[in-house]
Structure 1
Amino acid sequence: MFWFHQLLIVSALLLCPIMCHFKGIERIKCESRIGLPFRPHSDQRHRVDAIREEMKNRASRHGSSIDAFIVTTWDEHLNEDVSDHDKRTQFISGFTGKIAHVIITMNTVALWTDERYLAQANSEMNCDWKIFSLNSEPSITSYILSELDDGARVGADPRTVPHKVWIEWESELQLKYIRLIRMSRNLIDLVWINRPPQNTELLKVHPLIHAGEKWQSKIERLRKHLLKDHCDAMIVTSLTEIAYLLNLRGNDFPYTPVFKAYLLVSYDETFLYVNKDRVNLGITYHLNADPCNTECVKIKDYEQIWSDLNVYSYQWRKILVPGHCVFDLGVSEAIYSNIKRTTIHEKPSPVIFMRAQKNPTEQKGMQRAHILDGAAMCDAFSLLERRFLNEETITEVSASNDIDRSRYSMKSNLGLSLKTNIAFGPHAALPLFETFNETDIVVTDKEPCIFDSGGQYAEGTTIVSRTIHFGEPTFEQKQMYTNVLRAIIRLSTLVFPESLTPGEIDALARSSVWDSLTDYPQMTGHGVGSYLGVYESPIKISYTEPHTYAFEEGYFFSNEPGLYKKGLYGIRLKNVLEVYDTGERHPSGARFLGFRDVSLVPFDPKMIDRGLLNIREKRWLNDYNARVRTLVGEELKSQFNMQAFYWMINKTMHVIEYYPESEYRLRGDSESIRIVPWTCIMALILLLLT
C-alpha cells in the first residue's frame, strides 16, 4: 500500500500545473468573521511567531534554517493520550482534542485531526489555521509538498515520531528533494513558558495477589525470547510493557496507570531509566535495586538512556528493537537512530504477547473486576431511570457524571479506563462521538441513548457499552438493537479452530448485521489489558485490517458491534470476552477455542424483538441474565444497594423459549408443560357443547 500512497501524491502534484494550495475544511466563521472579534494578539498567534523566530534563528546556531516544523500528537513513548506536560499541539494551536498533528511554515499553519474532532477544532482555533482530516487527502506530506519549494528543509522532533512514520515521510518528501531534519530540541519546548511540570508522584507496586507472577519470572521469560531470536538485549519503550514486566504502576496519564520510563534487558542485567525522585525504599526493595546482585533492576536517570544506548549498541552484537504491531507503534526515530544500525533486529515486541495472555490470577481478577463494574452500571442506570421518571433534566454530561460517581464508589476502583461518553439521538449516530460541554444536549424519551465507559480496578480493566431507551422504542429501533444483540451473541458463542485470525472471525461476527444489508464502520473488537491499557495489542477484530495474530487462551478483548442511522440515532453494545480452551480437538489436531462473556450488565429488554431471536439465542440471553442476577445480584446485596438490585432483577427477566416439536416432545416428561392428546381436547369440547 505504500507505493499506492506515493502514486496518489505524485498524481495530485501532476494535476496541479501551478502548485496547489490546499484550503482545508470550510470555516464559514472565518470567511465572514461575523460576530467574531479580531484578536491580533492572541496567545496562539504569539506562540506561532515565536516558533518561526526559532526556525530562522536555527541558521545562526546550526548553519541553516528550516522552512517548516512538524509537531506531532505523540509523546516520547508514542502515546496519543498524553500528559499535560506533553500537550504540545494544544499549546500551539489551542485545540484540546486528543489526536492532532501540526505543520508550521513561514506563511501558514495547519492542523490534522480525526474526523470526529473537526467541528471541535473549528470552534476552538483562530482563523489563521487550516484544518484537515487525518482520514483523507491531503496528507501531511502532500501539504508540505504543495507549500514548499524543491530542496526545502523540514524539522521534526525524532523523539515524538515513530520510526515507521519517519521513514514514510522521508521517502514521500524525496519527490521534491525536501529533507526531513532531526531536531535536537523540540521547538515547542523552547518557547513554552509556564509549562506544566512532569509528574513526580511515587511509583506503586502492583502486588503479586493481583499480578499473579513475579517480575523476575517475567524477565526470565523475556530472556528466553531473546535467546530464541539470538539477541543480546532488548530496548522497551512502551509504558504498558514496562509496567507489566516490573509489576509497577503510576499515574502519569488520566486513564492508563503507567509511568514514563525506558527499560533495557540483556541476558544478565536489567536497567530501568526513570526519574529517581519517584523511587522510594519500597520500590527499591521490590526491584532488589540496592544492593543490586542477582535478579535485580539497576535504576538510572531517565535521560541516561541516550548515552547508554549509544555505548551498549557497540558492545552488543544484536539488539531487539520493537517494530509496529497493531496498536503499538514500535520505537521512536530517536531511539532507532541512536542504535548502531547493524545491531538492530526489528520485530514486534514479545512482551505484547506475554502481556495479552493473562495468567490464572489475572483471569480471576478480570472476572471479579467486571462483577464490580456490573454493580456500578446497575447503580448508575437505576439512578438515571429514577431521575427520568421524576422528570428531572438529564443531559449527556450529567449522565456521564452519574456513571463516573457510581464507578468511583466501588471498592478497589482506581479510576476510569477511558473517558465516559454518552451519545443521545443524532450524536449516537456518530460511531466515535465524544461527550463535551460544548456539544451537551438533553436526553429525552424520543430516541435511544448510548452509554460507553470503563473502569480501572486493582483486579483488572473493564469497558462496556449499552444502549437504553427511556421511552418506547419504534419497531425499527427494536429491529436494529436486536440485530446488534445477535452479533454480540454470535461472537460470544463461537467455537473455532485456534488458527482462525481476528479478520476471519470478524466476518462471522458481522454476519447478523450483514443479513440486514448494512454494516458498521468501527472495528468489532480489540484487546483489553489487566489494570493497564484499554486498547491492547495484538488483537484487533476488523476484516478491513487483516492481521496474522491468532487468539490464545487467556486473551481478553472487546466485542462491540453497532448500527447507525445517519443524523437520527445509533445502537451500540459492547462486552468483554475471555478466550478459553474447550478441551476439544480439530481433526487436524488443532485446539478448539471458545469465547465467554465477562461483562455483566443487563441489556435493555424493551429494545429486544424476541421474534427475531432463535431458540439458541434466547437460551444464551437467559443464561447471561441468570449470571447477572447471581453474580452482580450478590455484589449489590452485599453493598445493601437494593434499589439497583431490584432494577437489575426487572431488566433480567426470563425470556420464554419455544421449542421445535421434536425437542418439545423429548422435554415433555421433565417439564411442567405436558403434551395434551388431541382426543382429550375434542372430548372436552363435546362435553362443553352438551
Structure 2
Amino acid sequence: MKMFLGSALLFIFYSAYISCDSELENLKQRGELRKSCSKFGHAVQPPRRVNTTVRITKLRDLMRSEVIIGTPAIQAFLVTSSDEHQSTDVDDYEKRREYISGFSGSYGNAIVTLDKAALWTDGRYHLQADEQIDCNWLLFREGHSNIPTMAQWLKSNLAKGGRIGLNPKLVSEHMWKELTSELKGSLLTLVAMNISMVDIIWPTAERGVKRSKDAFVLETEYTGKNYTTKIKEIRRELEEIGADAMVVTSLDEIAWLLNIRSRDVPNSPFLRSYVILDTQNVFLYVNSSQLQSNRVRKKLNSDSIIRINDSVVLRNYDDIWSDLRVKSQLYNTILVPSHCVYSEGASHAIYEHILPERQLPRQSPIIYLKAIKNAVEIKVMQDTNIRDAAAVCDCFAYIEERMNAGDKFMEMDIVNLLNEYRFEQNFSLGNSFRTIAGFASNAAFPNYEPTLNTDVQIFKNSTLVLDSGGQYLGGTTDVTRTLHYGKPSEDMKDAYTRVLIGLIRLSTLTFPSNMKMAVADSMTRASLWEVGLDYLHESGHGVGAFLGVHESPIKIHFDSETSFQQVFKPGYFLSNEPGFYREGEFGIRLENIMEVIEHPWLTTSGHKFLGFKTITFVPFEPKLMKLSLLSIHQRRWLNSYNEQVRRLVGAELKRQNRMNGFYWMMEKTKQVPEHGRGSILLCQPVLVAVINILFIVIFV
C-alpha cells in the first residue's frame, strides 16, 4: 500500500512538473513569458524597465489618422533597429526601436498593432529585453523552438485586409522580401510609409542630436592600398559579373573603399554617405560641411579642374534619391547590395528607386575584398592588439590592487576606468563598442551594460565579465575576460575551464580550406555540450581593420544558415568567444581575436589547410581554472600563450613604464604543470576529431 501511495505521489508530482514545463513553453511561444507581468497583483518592476504606455498610445493614434499619415489607416507598424544604411550600431538620433519599446540592445524588431505590442530579439538579449520592456509588450525569444516569426504572428493577429506600415528607408530589401513571401496568401499588405511615424511622436527634447562629424583620410601606411587601387578592383569585379554600376549603401564599405573615416556612428569610424560607382565615375553623397578639409577633397581628387575616372564627385546627401531615378535609366545593369551575414544590404527604398529590370541583387564584392586584410593591415592589427593588451593589463592590475586594499568599485566605475586606460594609448580613437561590465547575476546577461538603475558594487563572491574593445588608427580590438577577486566556487571554476577549453580548441584547429564556418563551432561548444550546457550567441564574428567590430562575412554558429554558406580565407580576422551564463547567478565569457593563416606544408586532395593565429594577449585568470579538466595539449597551449603574453605585452608595458601592469601580467602568466591527471575525454585529440567528422557528416 505504501509503495502504491508513493508511486502515485511520484506520478502526480511528475505530471504536475511536465504540465508546468509545458505551460511555460506555451507562454514562451506566445511571447507571454515575462518577468513581473502577472495578471494578478502588482509585482515590483525591474529597475531598468521603461514605461512605454504613452508612447504606444500616441503611435496607435497616428496609425488610425489618415490625415496625418497620408494613407488609409494601418493596423500594424514595424520598427527596426536600423538607420538608412542598415547599420548594426546607430547613434541616439536613430534609436527609434529603443524609444518605442524601451529595449536598448543593438538587435531587435518591434511590431505595434492596435491592441498588442511585440518584440523579437536573439539569445544575446533575451534576459535584457525581459528586464527593459514593460508589460505592454510580448517578448519573442529567437533561437528557441517554435517561436513564431513576425509574419506568422501578424497572420495570427490581424484580420484579413490588414495593412502593415513600414519605413522603406529603415527596412532592408532582404527583410521586405522575407515578409512579403511569408505573408503571401494572407490578404495582409505591406505599406511603405512616406513619413517616419516614430519621429512624429518622439519629443525633440528626448531625442539625441544627429551626428555630423568632419571626415578625415586614413593614409596608406594604415590601409596598405590607396583608394584608386580599390576602385579598380571593384570595377574589375563589376565587369566580371556584367554590371555597369554599383550602389554602395553600407557605411563600413564606403569607409574602406575611399579610405576615409568619420564619427557619425557611435564606436565606429564611419561617414554617413552613399556611393554610386560606375566604369568612369565615383559619386559620393554626403553632407558637404563634413568635407571642408582641403586634405580630404585633395585626396579624393574632388576639386581637380580636370576630372579623371578616379575623381570622386561630391553630391548632397539627399540627392541620392533623385539621382537613382535618373541613373537607373542610363545603366543597363546596376548591382544593388543584398544580404550577407551582418550586412543587411540596401534598403527597400533604394530598390524602389531603381527600375526593376535594371537591378542586379547581389552580395557586395566590397565585403569580401575588405575582409581579407593585406600585409600592412595585418601588421597594424597585430601591433594594435599588443598596445591594447598593455592598457587592459594595466587597468586590471590597478583594479585588483585597489580591491585587495578594500576600495569600493561599482560596475560603472570599472567601465570608466577601462575606457580611460585604453584611451591613453597612442593612436587610440575611443571604443569599438560600449564596454560591457557585468558582476554576479548581471554577468549572466551576455551583452549587459550597466546603467544608473542597475549599477551594482563589485564584491569578492562572484565573477566579473569585462568585454571591451578599442578603435585605433588602422586597427580594431575586442577582448573579453572573466575575473574573480575572491575564492570562486567549484561550479564557477568548472564553467570557466570548459569555456577556456572551447577557446583553446578553436584556436588550435587545423582544417581544409573548403570547411564551412559552422563546422568550427562544434569545437568551441563541445566541452560544454559534454555536460549538457550551451550558450545562445555565436562563437565568433569578423573584425574589421579600423572599421566595424562586427564584420561580414564571418559568423561562427552551428545553427546559422549563413555560417554554412561561408568559408575561412587567409587574412580574415575573427573573434573566438565561447561563454556560459547561469541566470540569476553568474556568467563566464572569454574572447580573443584571431587571424586566419595558411599551413602551406599541409596539402591533400588539392585542398589547402588553414588554421588560426591568436593576436589578443591578455592573461586568463588562474584561480578560475580547474587544471584536472585540461589535457596535456591544452596546458601546453596555455603555457605557450602565456609565454607570448610575457614576451610581447611585457615589452610594451616596460616601454610605457607601466610596471604595475607588468608585474600583474607576470603573476597571471606563471607556468602551469603540463603533466598530471586530466579529463579522459578532453585529453583525447582523436575523439575531438571524431566529433568534428560526425558534425560534418550530419550537417554539411
TM-score, normalised to structure 2, is 0.85
Question: 1:213 offset after TM fit, Å?
Answer: 0.7
Which of 272, 283, 289 in structure 1 is aligned with 2:302? 289
User: Is residue 2:624 matched to residue 1:614?
Assistant: no
Which of 167, 184, 187 in structure 2 is aligned with 1:177? 187
* Alignment-derived partner of residue 91 in structure 2: 83
User: Is residue 2:471 matched to residue 1:456?
Assistant: yes
* Alignment-derived partner of residue 73 in structure 1: 81
Question: 1:426 offset after TM fit, Å?
Answer: 2.6
Which of 145, 159, 162 in structure 1 is aligned with 2:155? 145
Q: How does 1:508-587 map to 2 (within 5 A)?
A: 508-545=523-560, 546-587=563-604
Question: 1:27 offset after TM fit, Å?
Answer: 4.7
* Further displaced range: 103-112 or 490-499: 103-112
- C-alpha contact (below 8 Å) 1:464/1:599 kept by paired residues: yes
Question: 1:218 offset after TM fit, Å?
Answer: 0.7
Once residues 462 and 542 of structure 1 are traced to their aligned partners in structure 2, the CA distance between those partners, rounded to angstroms, is: 21
Q: How does 1:126-275 map to 2 (within 5 A)?
A: 129-135=136-142, 137-194=147-204, 196-275=208-287
Which of 586, 610, 613 in structure 2 is aligned with 1:596? 613
Question: 1:56 offset after TM fit, Å?
Answer: 4.0
- C-alpha contact (below 8 Å) 2:126/2:141 kept by paired residues: no
Distance 1:187 1:384, change over 3 A: same
SS of the equivalent of 2:475 reads: coil
* Alignment-derived partner of residue 683 in structure 2: none
Question: 1:430 offset after TM fit, Å?
Answer: 3.9
Question: 1:466 offset after TM fit, Å?
Answer: 1.1
What is the letter of the counterpart of residue 571 of structure 1?
A: I
Which of 414, 418, 421 in structure 2 is aligned with 1:403? 418
SS of the equivalent of 1:159 reads: coil
Distance 1:572 1:57, change over 3 A: closer
Which of 319, 322, 330 in structure 2 is aligned with 1:315? 330
* Alignment-derived partner of residue 424 in structure 1: 439
* Alignment-derived partner of residue 694 in structure 2: none
TM-score, normalised to structure 1, is 0.86
Q: How does 1:667-682 map to 2 (within 5 A)?
A: none
Once residues 221 and 485 of structure 1 are traced to their aligned partners in structure 2, the CA distance between those partners, rounded to angstroms, is: 40
SS of the equivalent of 1:439 reads: coil
* Alignment-derived partner of residue 415 in structure 1: 430
What is the letter of the counterpart of residue 535 of structure 1?
A: H
- C-alpha contact (below 8 Å) 2:252/2:270 kept by paired residues: yes
Cα deviation code 1:399-431 (max 9, x no counterpart): 222211211111111111122112222333344
* Alignment-derived partner of residue 679 in structure 1: none
User: Is residue 2:502 matched to residue 1:490?
Assistant: no
* Further displaced range: 307-316 or 607-616: 607-616
SS of the equivalent of 2:535 reads: coil
SS of the equivalent of 1:160 reads: coil
* Alignment-derived partner of residue 622 in structure 2: 605
What is the letter of the counterpart of residue 285 of structure 1?
A: K
Once residues 51 and 396 of structure 1 are traced to their aligned partners in structure 2, the CA distance between those partners, rounded to angstroms, is: 35
Question: 1:55 offset after TM fit, Å?
Answer: 3.5
Question: 1:511 offset after TM fit, Å?
Answer: 3.3
- C-alpha contact (below 8 Å) 2:543/2:573 kept by paired residues: yes
Instruction: Give 5+ residue unaligned stretches, structure 1.
Output: 1-15, 37-41, 661-690
Question: 1:490 offset after TM fit, Å?
Answer: 1.8
Once residues 320 and 257 of structure 2 are traced to their aligned partners in structure 1, the CA distance between those partners, rounded to angstroms, is: 18
What is the letter of the counterpart of residue 392 of structure 1?
A: D
* Further displaced range: 567-576 or 317-326: 567-576
- C-alpha contact (below 8 Å) 1:413/1:456 kept by paired residues: yes
* Further displaced range: 238-247 or 159-168: 159-168
Distance 1:480 1:192, change over 3 A: closer
* Further displaced range: 136-145 or 603-612: 136-145
| Larger radius of gyration between Structure 1 and Structure 2 | 1
Which of 669, 679, 686 in structure 2 is aligned with 1:652? 669
SS of the equivalent of 2:314 reads: strand
- C-alpha contact (below 8 Å) 2:542/2:550 kept by paired residues: yes
SS of the equivalent of 1:537 reads: strand
- C-alpha contact (below 8 Å) 1:602/1:652 kept by paired residues: yes
Distance 1:214 1:612, change over 3 A: same
What is the letter of the counterpart of residue 264 of structure 1?
A: I
Distance 1:112 1:492, change over 3 A: closer
Question: 1:517 offset after TM fit, Å?
Answer: 4.7
Which of 444, 465, 469 in structure 1 is aligned with 2:484? 469
User: Is residue 2:348 matched to residue 1:333?
Assistant: yes
Question: 1:295 offset after TM fit, Å?
Answer: 1.3
Question: 1:457 offset after TM fit, Å?
Answer: 1.0
Question: 1:394 offset after TM fit, Å?
Answer: 2.3
Instruction: Give 5+ residue unaligned stretches, structure 2.
Output: 1-25, 678-700
RMSD: 2.8
Question: 1:115 offset after TM fit, Å?
Answer: 6.1
Once residues 65 and 525 of structure 2 are traced to their aligned partners in structure 1, the CA distance between those partners, rounded to angstroms, is: 56
Once residues 72 and 627 of structure 2 are traced to their aligned partners in structure 1, the CA distance between those partners, rounded to angstroms, is: 71
What is the letter of the counterpart of residue 225 of structure 1?
A: E
Question: 1:586 offset after TM fit, Å?
Answer: 1.4
What is the letter of the counterpart of residue 346 of structure 2?
A: V
- C-alpha contact (below 8 Å) 1:141/1:169 kept by paired residues: yes
* Further displaced range: 215-224 or 430-439: 430-439
- C-alpha contact (below 8 Å) 2:125/2:447 kept by paired residues: no
* Alignment-derived partner of residue 696 in structure 2: none
Distance 1:387 1:174, change over 3 A: same
Question: 1:580 offset after TM fit, Å?
Answer: 1.3
Distance 1:621 1:247, change over 3 A: same
- C-alpha contact (below 8 Å) 1:234/1:319 kept by paired residues: yes
Once residues 112 and 511 of structure 1 are traced to their aligned partners in structure 2, the CA distance between those partners, rounded to angstroms, is: 28
Question: 1:325 offset after TM fit, Å?
Answer: 0.9
SS of the equivalent of 1:428 reads: helix
- Give me the identity figure in percent: 38
Cα deviation code 1:168-227 (max 9, x no counterpart): 222333443121111122222344442544322211111211111101111110111111
Cα deviation code 1:54-86 (max 9, x no counterpart): 434435885633333222221111123211221
Once residues 43 and 535 of structure 2 are traced to their aligned partners in structure 1, the CA distance between those partners, rounded to angstroms, is: 39
What is the letter of the counterpart of residue 34 of structure 2?
A: I
Once residues 438 and 618 of structure 1 are traced to their aligned partners in structure 2, the CA distance between those partners, rounded to angstroms, is: 42
* Further displaced range: 569-578 or 224-233: 569-578
